[in-house]
């Protein structure tokens, strides 16, 4: 994948904070698998200043969370 003629090195995802109900009780240190419904609200390209890599970042707004 290219952006403005440059090869994209990595793709990343950023999930926006979700606060809301969930249909299962959770315990501290428990590892859980969740089903997340989200909408892509932004796509940006950022250069990592340390490595020089070009990252494509997808920002998602979580709409719903449930058990998998």
pTM of the model: 0.71
Contact yes or no for 41/61 (Cβ under 8 A): yes
Neighbours of 62 (CB within 10 A): 16
Q: Token digits for 49?
A: 């200043």
Q: What is the pLDDT of residues 3-54, one digit of tens each?
A: 888 888 989 999 888 888 887 788 999 998 888 999 999 999 999 999 999 9
pLDDT at 33: 87
Strands 10-15 and 54-67: parallel
Contact yes or no for 34/41 (Cβ under 8 A): no
Contact yes or no for 24/67 (Cβ under 8 A): yes
């Amino acid at each position: 994948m290219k952006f403005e003629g440059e090869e994209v090195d990595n793709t990343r995802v950023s999930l926006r904070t979700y606060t809301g109900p969930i249909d299962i009780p959770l315990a501290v240190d428990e590892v859980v698998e969740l089903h997340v419904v989200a909408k892509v609200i932004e796509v940006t390209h950022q250069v990592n200043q340390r490595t020089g890599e070009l990252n494509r970042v997808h920002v998602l707004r979580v709409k719903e969370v449930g058990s998998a």
